[in-house]
Chain A
Amino acid sequence: MKIIDRNNVHVQGEHGPVLLYAHGFGCNQTMWDRVTPAFATTHRQVLFDFVGSGQSDLAAFDSKRYASLQGYVQDVLEVCEALDLHSGVTFVGHSVSASIGMLASIARPELFERLILVGPSPCFLNHSPDYLGGFEREDLEGLLSLMEKNYIGWANYLAPVVAGDSAEGAVSSELSSSFCSTEPTVAKVFAQTTFFSDMRADLQRVSRPCLILQHRHDALAPMGVGEFLQTQLKESTLKVLDVTGHCAHMSHPALVIEAMQAYLAAQPAHP
């Protein structure tokens, strides 16, 4: 199976520096649909789904490989390899993908020019009093059970749709399959990897410049986490977006685009 098919890779534009977008847990590459048009003429933009998400090849899912963030790092590096990218890549990652991007840049610093991190969090769990990721372990276990319940709900909902009975269901079918309805065992692995990983110790080893796009009110990645990241990452810029929520690129794409453009313009290309 080719990487291009496995990770459902799409390349938009043929010229310009590369922007590589990585989606967060629960979503897929379509979450970037409101950002990419702004760079259509200036950049070559690469979108993909992690194995187990979106339209990726589920058969390629390996619960051992993806039980660690390194499995997802491998996806990123293999996509670059498949596209013959060896340098100059600007990595744009949301939420857990910010961590994945940072780990990829530690593994292959020469590949990446810089990283744009939207709502990053190196660790979602509280390690009080030093670090408050926002959640306790049982909260994340509650999330897993909620995911499981909702999968049941969708499965029930989808049953008549498959039979072609309901026009209303057809909409939902597309919605669910394209967005959230992943195989629960697969989603569970990604959820566990996302929320139980802790990459704080690796932050010092990130050598590439980073732009941290911090939501002002973000229940998943609170302000303190963005500030902590800035202190840990050598060459980082913290930009606070006046946004409530965790998905500024969807809720306030203009703010994200503006911040990205400013960063990409100000930062001279790395030698």
Chain B
Amino acid sequence: MIRQPPHMDHLDHLPCPVLVTDGTGRVLVVNSELLELVGATAAHWLQKTIEDLVPPASRIFLHTYVWPMLMRDGAVHEIQMQVFDAQGRRIPVMVNSRKGRLEGEPCYYWIFFVALERSRFEAEVLAARNLAQASSLALAKSERFIKTITDGLPGLIAYWDRALRCRFANRPYLERFGKSLEAVVGSTLQALLGERLFALNEPYVLGALSGQAQQFERMLTKADGSTHYTLVNYIPDLDDEGAVLGFFVLISDVTSIKTSEVELKLAASVFSSIIEGIMITDAHGIILSVNPAFTQITGYTATEARGQPRRFLEAPQHDPDLFAALWADAATHGRGEGEAWNRRKNGDVFVTWQSITLIRGVDDEPLRYVSVFRDITKRWQQNEHTRHLALHDGLTDLPNRHLLMERFNQLITLDKREPRQLAVLFLDLDGFKRVNDTLGHDIGDEVLKLVAGKLQALVRKSDIVARVGGDEFVILLDNPVGQDEVAHVASRIIEMLNEPMEIRDQVARIGTSVGIAMHPADGASAAQLITHADTAMYAAKGAGKNTYRFFAAMPRHLATEAMPP
């Protein structure tokens, strides 16, 4: 059995594991403390090498680091390795070794310090270092990430500390001031803005430094003359105690918003000040909003109108189809325009000129209808008046020859669909010239008016009384029962007109001669019938006046004579 040299027994008194090997690592001596650590007996270890005490990783480390150092320099200090303990566990140890001599032969003294606590601590230090490295990497990465984001944003972003020194500026911010990052970060706000701009911004800066978020607008005129609006935010950066560390700056170009705001305001003022009524409905025609002119025209307030269907103004008895056609045009062609009859809140019917436009949404689906309308009732009435004047006799307000012909032709047209009789009575006043000459034109005019009234009172509503000449009238009887009834009417006319007329203390007496043509017997056209009635009237005159004659009853040669050349 191999025994270790007896004079080495004193190593057993040392309070740490000790080992002596030769230059190849063969174990020469072990102390009791080492045996306590690694187990087994001294005799067991004296046949082994130091490699057998350590796990493979430490074995490599021994050969690549420890032995070369020992062989070159004769000593190593505080090398960390692992040894297997008696239970085969890996125990961290610190190792010192020094070259020496044993019984005249070179040898190496190895001292182990079991470094469980220390290794744990160092492992923590190492883990902490790795963690610190990892987090500093992560931080750098996240800073790069934040920079990438902020550089990519269109807004200007910066951070100024309490001392008004820049700590951060994104690319747009730097570009705005035309400076490099190095020139801006670390420099003062005064230096960056210049005296004038700094003085302008100073109140906001002081506000931010006192912990209050600031917001203000600036209008800038660029070199190209264009005007830009910026919205500036100063957001204070507070620590946990609420002390201000600095403030973030966010500057946004709000030119487009500002411009559209202006446009919106303009549009709103147009909406409220325009004299046309405006009604905006949703795609289903439910009213969303109306303007003041709408209220003025219709009498309905915005509150009353909102939520109502678009037809609520409609006066359906007046051309309901027209109204529907307008909206249909808007729905299919995007725009509809035309007259429409509406009813005010007070019940009055009025005419509008209405233009309806369809507005589509972003998805091209119908979104809104905008109906703009003007009250054209007055103009319409004026037009009607002018029309009336053109078709009526100014003195008696009876239809004139134009209107007579128009109605006459209409009736003849109707006859083609639904056969009917028509009687044309041509009247020429007898003795009217004398009234004019003796009583004056004023009285004459009054006589004509009275005649007109009397004639109208005599006939039905569907009949027409027209004045076609100075003292000539034409009466159209629509669908008289027969010639007898016509004769009866003619007699009644003569009778009525023969009654003396008292005008301004004067008495006028007249008579009348009446010529009658019947349709369809006496002619097919209005002109022909009137001519024949005229002819018959002359026959009545020839027969002594104040009487009537039927054209049909006239002798043939007279009737032919009366034909126009």
Contacts and interface: CB of A to CB of B under 8 A. Distances in A.
Interface stretch (A108-116, A238-246, A263-271): A238-246
B502 interface: no
B64 interface: yes
Contacts of B57: 139-143, 145-146
B72 A179 contact: yes
Contacts of B51: 219
A31 B68 contact: yes
A26 B68 contact: yes
Contacts of A179: 65, 68-69, 72-73
A41 interface: no
A143 B66 CA distance: 13
B126 interface: yes
A260 B7 CA distance: 41
B73 A25 contact: no
Interface size classification for chain A: 35 or more
A142 B58 CA distance: 8
A131 interface: no
B84 to A, nearest CB: 13
A251 interface: yes
Interface stretch (A13-21, A147-155, A206-214): A147-155
Contacts of A219: 51, 59-60, 62-63
A74 interface: no
Nearest to A169: B77
B63 A180 contact: no
Contacts of A172: 77
A189 interface: no
B24 A220 contact: no
A245 B78 contact: no
B364 to A, nearest CB: 56
B14 interface: no
Interface in B134-153: none
Interface string A113-127: 000000000000000
A24 interface: yes
Main secondary structure of the interface of B (DSSP, over half): helix
Contacts of B23: 251
B133 to A, nearest CB: 10
A150 to B, nearest CB: 5
Interface string A201-245: 000000000000000011110000000000000000000000111
Given A24-B64, A153-B79, A250-B68, A142 B55 contact: yes
A32 to B, nearest CB: 11
A199 interface: no
Given A245-B67, A247-B71, A143 B60 contact: yes
Contact of B24 (A134, A136, A149, A243): A243
Interface string A150-165: 1011100100000000
Interface in B85-119: 94, 119
A49 B69 CA distance: 16
B79 A152 contact: no
A27 B68 contact: yes
B81 interface: yes
Contacts of A31: 68, 72
A40 interface: no
Contacts of A244: 24-26, 49
A153 B64 contact: no
B71 A251 contact: yes
A31 B72 CA distance: 8
A82 B452 CA distance: 137
Interface string B12-42: 0000000000011110000000000000000
A135 interface: yes
A33 B57 CA distance: 27
B126 A148 contact: yes
A153 B69 contact: no
Contacts of A154: 78
Nearest to B77: A172
Contact of B80 (A134, A136, A153, A220): A153
Interface string B175-215: 00000000000000000000000000000000000000000
Contacts of B56: 134-136, 139, 142
Contacts of B80: 146, 149-150, 153
Contacts of A147: 61
Contact of A150 (B24, B25, B79): B79
Contacts of A142: 55-58, 82
A146 B398 CA distance: 127
Contacts of A27: 64, 68
Contact of A220 (B55, B60, B73, B81): B60
A197 interface: no
A206 B449 CA distance: 141
Given A26-B64, A145-B57, A175-B73, 17 more contacts: A27-B68, A31-B68, A135-B56, A139-B57, A140-B57, A153-B94, A179-B69, A179-B73, A218-B63, A219-B59, A220-B59, A243-B24, A244-B49, A245-B67, A247-B63, A247-B67, A250-B72
Interface of A: 24-27, 30-31, 33, 95, 134-136, 139-143, 145-150, 152-154, 157, 172, 175, 179-180, 195, 217-220, 243-247, 250-251
23 contacts: A25-B64, A26-B64, A30-B72, A31-B68, A145-B57, A146-B57, A146-B58, A146-B80, A149-B119, A149-B122, A149-B123, A152-B129, A217-B49, A218-B63, A219-B51, A219-B59, A219-B63, A244-B24, A245-B63, A245-B67, A247-B68, A250-B67, A251-B24
